[in-house]
Amino acid sequence: MDRQATVAPPVRNVLVLQHIACEPPGVFEDVLRERGAALERVELDEGERLPSPGGHDAIVVMGGPMGVYDTEAFPWLVAEQRFLRAAIDAGTAVFGACLGAQLVAGCLGARVMPAPVPEVGILDVVLTAEGQADAVTGGLPERFPVLQWHSDTFDLPAGATLLASSEAYANQAFRVGTAVYAVQFHVEVTAAMLEEWAAVPAYEAALERVLGPGAFAALREGFTAAAGLMQAHARALFGAWADAALTGT
């Protein structure tokens, strides 16, 4: 009797856009590799060039200390936004985190700007009714803790669906269409990444403006207590997006 041949699933190519070495995808990368994805990493702040468009099944856009509007200091931000807009228009699945969320909003024509106060710490976000019903965010609790460490905010792009908010920043997560997701917060961070962030002057300044000198010790304690839960939520959130982006399930 003939045996039915086993066909390996196709390898999916994922582009990761980084803006500083200490902000890799963290737990998100684990999720992608578990699904057999092949990752191409481009670190734009180091002068690495964007690839040719159309060669990736999905794009993950990570955080960084610069603002979307800092185009004089970081002129590659202009090219990156053009690249992202073209990818979204072509139907490529995109996931943005923190600066990545701001870049997604900006490339779609929304305003990105400094917020009245930074948002830093282990803080709750709350899903909207649409977020609770969403295929990607709906697997999360209605309220859950995340790591916040940012000073900018953004308007929602035209046609976007708001998925989550926090007490300080209304726009914490949104969806555009069915394949583009963006979150202002972090759940992907590992303990090693957190230690590296504390050494970045822009991150340290934002932390101490909100929580006072020497605040990192308290932040580390709060992060350690919540890390397991946040990373489980990272797997639920990003896993649901990755399943849709890479396998169509």
* pLDDT tens digits, one per residue of 122-166: 999 999 999 999 999 999 999 999 999 998 999 999 999 999 999
71 vs 118, more confident: 71
* pLDDT tens digits, one per residue of 159-197: 999 999 999 999 999 999 999 999 999 999 999 999 998
Is residue 235 a part of any domain in this protein? Answer: yes
Q: What is the pLDDT of residue 199?
A: 86
Going by pLDDT thresholds of 50, 70 and 90, the confidence category of residue 1 is very low
| pTM higher than the cut 0.85 | yes
Q: What is the pLDDT of residue 9?
A: 56
How far is it, in rounded angstroms, from Cα 140 to Cα 126? 10
How far is it, in rounded angstroms, from Cα 136 to Cα 134? 6
Percent of the chain at pLDDT > 90 equals 81
Domain count, the chain: 1
Q: What is the pLDDT of residue 214?
A: 80
Q: What is the mean pLDDT of residues 50-76?
A: 95
Is residue 94 a part of any domain in this protein? Answer: yes
Beta bridge partners of 182: 96, 174
Is residue 7 a part of any domain in this protein? Answer: no
Residue 132 identity: Q
Q: From 65, 20, 13, 31, select the one nearest 188 (Cα to Cα).
A: 31
Is residue 132 a part of any domain in this protein? Answer: yes
For 106, the token pair is 């900006």
Is residue 65 a part of any domain in this protein? Answer: yes
Q: How many CA atoms lie within 13 A of 33 on its CB side?
A: 7
Is residue 200 a part of any domain in this protein? Answer: yes
* pLDDT tens digits, one per residue of 224-249: 999 999 999 999 999 999 999 988 65
Is residue 1 a part of any domain in this protein? Answer: no
Residues 6+ apart with CB under 8 A from 156: 105, 110, 162, 171, 174
Q: What is the pLDDT of residue 8?
A: 47
Is residue 110 a part of any domain in this protein? Answer: yes
CATH number of the domain enclosing 141:
3.40.50.880
Which range marks the domain in which residue 100 is found? 13-247
How far is it, in rounded angstroms, from Cα 27 to Cα 224? 15
